[in-house]
């Protein structure tokens, strides 16, 4: 029954854990991808221990050399990971100690796997968050370029999927861009709570050694050490924040993709997806399906599932470390691994799809998209809006019976509903005029597109500056550690 491998805690036990227990408790499958961060965290820890004279210079040098050798093996994927050691932390410490003996056995002074693992996850998530922000920015740029190219092209705007008022393609694209800008900003905002170093919290209570946590945090490029050791090992808020921001981003993508899906149906025919981002049918030779958009829409389900997963894991958990917290990683990794391709594929679809401007304008002939404009016209002539609404409702009913558009009715007919209507009504009814006249701030008129675009561009610039700065900060901290 007993496991053969010596575990990190074997002193207390007369028998090893069963193979089934080791298999059940192992996190190696997931946390192996933290290997690089684990080694870097250890390098910072040992440098701090040596500077504080907690361990000797010779031991520190041996540990640093040993860790650097391990890092090289992590990078070229030749590290001899042992599946029967329960996690990546045990593996690295085992390999190091096997190579440099007692010096390696001093590495774990003044720390615990509890603070070690959460430090690793934070370092991973810093990079993942920056990757995410950059992937969102690519989509923002794609939307921006196409919005600019299509700022004058008109299509029906929908509410309840019913014709509402005409808008421009550019304006519709900028609406999606706004959502994504908030997503990017949400990731940026969460970063300040993420970029905090728990290392040195040790098991839960801090440590008796005279460690310098501020120095360790600085070596790893963190903003500051965490303020409380119990919170340090239990806090997974930053994981939940990433999962929420990721879930909301995929929810936004699902809404965009939903529009792409039905707008590419022949009933709408507003757009055609590039062949490269479409698939066919095994039985119906004529088919061209928007599977990429559908799968992006579909993956919102799993993204929400990951968020619920971590929230339920955290709910009611006592403070400090509990093994449940090991379950943070599968949800986090899955969420990141799903989100990046969803963003990239959506970017590809947006930048390559063909828009059918004629068809969109044609669709504006139906559904009385200019009815509000007729009501607004009557308001300008002095009628209270509620009454104008009533009048135009009756005009629309009449036009439905006559099977014509509002602008096809004669002045005589129109006057029959309200004698405030004059010849100038035909100036406000054309669809182009309905769009052009909506110049209110944030409105659909191409005239007010430039300030909207300008604002979006400066948002993008701020996001890029943030990502660049943080990338540089991390790279320079890491390269100093590895020098």
**CB neighbours of 96 closer than 8 A, spacing ≥ 6?**
63, 66, 67, 70, 104, 107
The reply to whether 306 sits near ligand ARG by the rule CB under 6 A is no
The reply to whether 236 sits near ligand ARG by the rule CB under 6 A is no
Which residues in 140-199 contact ligand ARG (CB under 6 A)?
A: none
Measured between alpha carbons, how far is 200 from 375 in angstroms, rounded to an integer? 68
Minimum gap (Å) between residue 248 Cβ and ligand ARG = 26
Minimum gap (Å) between residue 117 Cβ and ligand ARG = 4
Whose CA is closest to 352, among 254, 278, 269? 278
**Shorter beta-carbon distance to ligand ARG: residue 31 or 373:** 31
160 labelled catalytic: yes
**Shorter beta-carbon distance to ligand ARG: residue 114 or 229:** 114
The reply to whether 332 sits near ligand ARG by the rule CB under 6 A is no
Window contacting ligand ARG (CB under 6 A); options: 36-44, 46-54, 124-132, 321-329: 321-329
**Shorter beta-carbon distance to ligand ARG: residue 291 or 327:** 327
Minimum gap (Å) between residue 450 Cβ and ligand ARG = 51
Minimum gap (Å) between residue 79 Cβ and ligand ARG = 17
Which residues in 42-101 contact ligand ARG (CB under 6 A)?
A: 87
Minimum gap (Å) between residue 120 Cβ and ligand ARG = 9
Question: Six-digit token pair at 64?
Answer: 């640093």
Q: Are strands 162-168 and 154-159 parallel, antiparallel or unpaired?
A: antiparallel
The reply to whether 313 sits near ligand ARG by the rule CB under 6 A is no
Contacts of 180-184 with C-beta under 8 Å, sequence gap 24+, read: 180/136, 180/139, 180/140, 180/143, 180/249, 180/252, 181/140, 181/456, 181/459, 181/460, 181/463, 183/136, 183/245, 183/248, 183/249, 183/252, 184/133, 184/136, 184/137, 184/140, 184/459, 184/463
Whose CA is closest to 407, among 447, 448, 374, 378? 374
Task: Identify the residue among 37, 94, 222, 321 touching ligand ARG (CB under 6 A).
Answer: 321
Minimum gap (Å) between residue 186 Cβ and ligand ARG = 26
**Shorter beta-carbon distance to ligand ARG: residue 23 or 396:** 23
CA atoms within 13 A on the CB side of 290: 26
The reply to whether 31 sits near ligand ARG by the rule CB under 6 A is yes
Minimum gap (Å) between residue 483 Cβ and ligand ARG = 29
Whose CA is closest to 460, among 143, 164, 199? 143
**Which residue is catalytic, options 10, 210, 265, 281?**
281
**Shorter beta-carbon distance to ligand ARG: residue 325 or 353:** 325
Minimum gap (Å) between residue 90 Cβ and ligand ARG = 8
**Shorter beta-carbon distance to ligand ARG: residue 31 or 64:** 31
Minimum gap (Å) between residue 242 Cβ and ligand ARG = 16
Q: Are 200 and 206 in contact (CB under 8 A)?
A: yes
The reply to whether 325 sits near ligand ARG by the rule CB under 6 A is yes
The reply to whether 347 sits near ligand ARG by the rule CB under 6 A is no
The reply to whether 326 sits near ligand ARG by the rule CB under 6 A is yes
Residue linked to tokens 């509410």: 159
Window contacting ligand ARG (CB under 6 A); options: 282-290, 322-330, 365-373, 420-428: 322-330
Binding residues for ligand ARG, rule CB under 6 A, total 10
**Shorter beta-carbon distance to ligand ARG: residue 326 or 356:** 326
**Shorter beta-carbon distance to ligand ARG: residue 27 or 264:** 27
**CB neighbours of 395 closer than 8 A, spacing ≥ 6?**
371, 374, 406, 409, 414, 417
Write each residue from 251 to 280 as x if it is in contact with ligand ARG (CB under 6 A), else as -, in one continuous string. ------------------------------
The reply to whether 27 sits near ligand ARG by the rule CB under 6 A is yes
Window contacting ligand ARG (CB under 6 A); options: 95-103, 160-168, 323-331, 419-427: 323-331
**Which residue is catalytic, options 160, 282, 410, 440?**
160
Which residues in 92-131 contact ligand ARG (CB under 6 A)?
A: 113-114, 117
**Shorter beta-carbon distance to ligand ARG: residue 31 or 235:** 31
Q: Are 270 and 263 in contact (CB under 8 A)?
A: yes
Question: Six-digit token pair at 20?
Answer: 């089934």
* Residues near ligand ARG, by CB under 6 A: 27, 31, 87, 113-114, 117, 321, 323, 325-326
Active site residues: 160, 281
């Amino acid at each position: 029954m007993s496991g053969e491998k010596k575990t990190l805690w074997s002193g207390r036990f007369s028998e090893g854990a069963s193979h089934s227990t080791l298999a059940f408790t192992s996190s190696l499958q997931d946390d192996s991808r933290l290997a690089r961060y684990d080694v870097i965290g250890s390098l910072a820890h040992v440098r701090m221990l040596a500077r504080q004279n907690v361990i000797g210079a010779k031991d520190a040098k041996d540990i640093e050399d040993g860790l650097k050798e391990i890092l090289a093996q992590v990078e070229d994927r030749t590290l001899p990971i042992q599946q029967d050691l329960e996690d990546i932390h045990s593996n690295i410490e085992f390999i190091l100690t096997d190579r440099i003996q007692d010096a390696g056995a001093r590495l774990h002074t003044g720390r615990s796997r509890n603070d070690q693992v959460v430090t690793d996850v934070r370092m991973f998530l810093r990079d993942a968050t920056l990757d995410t922000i950059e992937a969102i920015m690519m989509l923002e740029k794609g939307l921006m370029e196409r919005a600019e190219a299509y700022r004058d092209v008109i299509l029906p705007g929908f509410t309840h999927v019913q014709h509402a008022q005409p808008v421009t393609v550019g304006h519709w694209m900028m609406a999606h861009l706004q959502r994504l800008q908030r997503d990017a900003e949400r990731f940026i905002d969460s970063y300040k709570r993420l970029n905090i170093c728990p290392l040195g919290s040790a098991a839960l209570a801090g440590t008796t050694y005279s460690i310098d946590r501020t120095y360790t945090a600085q070596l790893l490029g963190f903003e500051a050490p965490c303020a409380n050791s119990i919170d340090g090992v239990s806090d997974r808020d930053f994981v939940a924040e990433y999962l929420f921001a990721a879930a909301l981003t995929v929810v936004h993508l699902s809404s965009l993709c939903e529009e792409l899906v039905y707008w590419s149906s022949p009933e709408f025919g507003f757009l055609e997806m590039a062949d490269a981002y479409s698939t066919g049918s095994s039985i119906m030779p004529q088919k061209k399906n928007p599977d990429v958009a559908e799968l992006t829409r579909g993956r919102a389900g799993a993204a929400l599932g990951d968020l619920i997963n971590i929230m339920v894991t955290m709910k009611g958990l006592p403070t400090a470390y509990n093994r449940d917290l090991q379950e943070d990683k599968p949800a986090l990794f899955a969420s990141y691994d799903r989100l990046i391709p969803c963003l990239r594929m959506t970017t590809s679809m947006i930048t390559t799809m063909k828009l059918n401007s004629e068809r969109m304008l044609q669709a504006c002939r139906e559904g009385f998209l200019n009815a509000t404009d007729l009501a607004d016209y009557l308001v300008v002539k002095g009628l209270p809006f509620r009454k104008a609404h009533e009048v135009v409702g009756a005009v629309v009913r009449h036009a439905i019976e006559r099977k014509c558009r509002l602008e096809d009715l004669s002045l005589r007919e129109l006057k029959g509903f309200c004698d405030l209507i004059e010849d100038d009504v035909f100036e406000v009814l054309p669809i182009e005029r309905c769009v052009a006249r909506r110049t209110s701030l944030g409105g659909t008129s191409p005239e007010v597109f430039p300030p909207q675009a300008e604002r979006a561009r400066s948002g993008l610039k701020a996001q890029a500056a943030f990502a660049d700065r943080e990338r540089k900060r991390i790279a320079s901290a890491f390269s100093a550690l590895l020098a």
